[in-house]
Amino acid sequence: MPGLHLLAELYDCRCAPKLLADAGALRELCLAVCATPGLTPVGQIFHQFGSALEPSGATGVVVLAESHLAVHTWPEVHAVTLDLYVCNFSQNNSAVARLACQRLISAFVPARVLRRELERGIPDLAGVLTTPEND
């Protein structure tokens, strides 16, 4: 299960307001980004908050054969959170994950970005590995 888990918080997004408010626009962006070679969408669900007349944000998930992409928008504060986990089971997909994440970030045109990267599936040899019995 080795892989790269990327998290990003986007602030003061200057993209078209529809991208922050409309689940359909968010879906189109996420599916376009997940068409990147090395990512294989196998399912999706997106939810519109508010109403058709007054949309107020969206949330969506694309399930990937390699893991997942989750995106949540807050148009009232021009913010977005991204969560992209890409497994490296048969090959190292870290570059693909970083490219997809950067494409998403660029689409929202944020003034400020907080990014985090976590290498998963590589136990910390200096740390304590717990089992369910000793948690």
At 105 the pLDDT is: 98
Sign of dihedral through CA atoms 20, 109, 83, 130? negative
DSSP three-state, residue 91? coil
At 126 the pLDDT is: 52
DSSP letter assigned to residue 103: H
Say if 126 falls within a structural domain. no
At 121 the pLDDT is: 83
Domain that holds residue 80: 3-121
Question: 125: exposed, middle or buried (C-beta count within 10 Å: 0-12, 13-18, 19+)?
Answer: exposed
Say if 70 falls within a structural domain. yes
Half-sphere exposure of 96 (CA within 13 A, CB side): 20
Q: How many domains does the chain have?
A: 1
CATH assignment of the domain containing 111? 3.60.90.10
**pTM score above 0.75:** yes
At 72 the pLDDT is: 98
What is the set of active-site residues? Answer: 67, 72, 87
Say if 134 falls within a structural domain. no
At 2 the pLDDT is: 85
Say if 102 falls within a structural domain. yes
- What are the mean pLDDT values of the chain's consecutive 10-residue runs (135 residues total)? 93 97 97 92 96 86 96 97 90 92 98 95 62 61
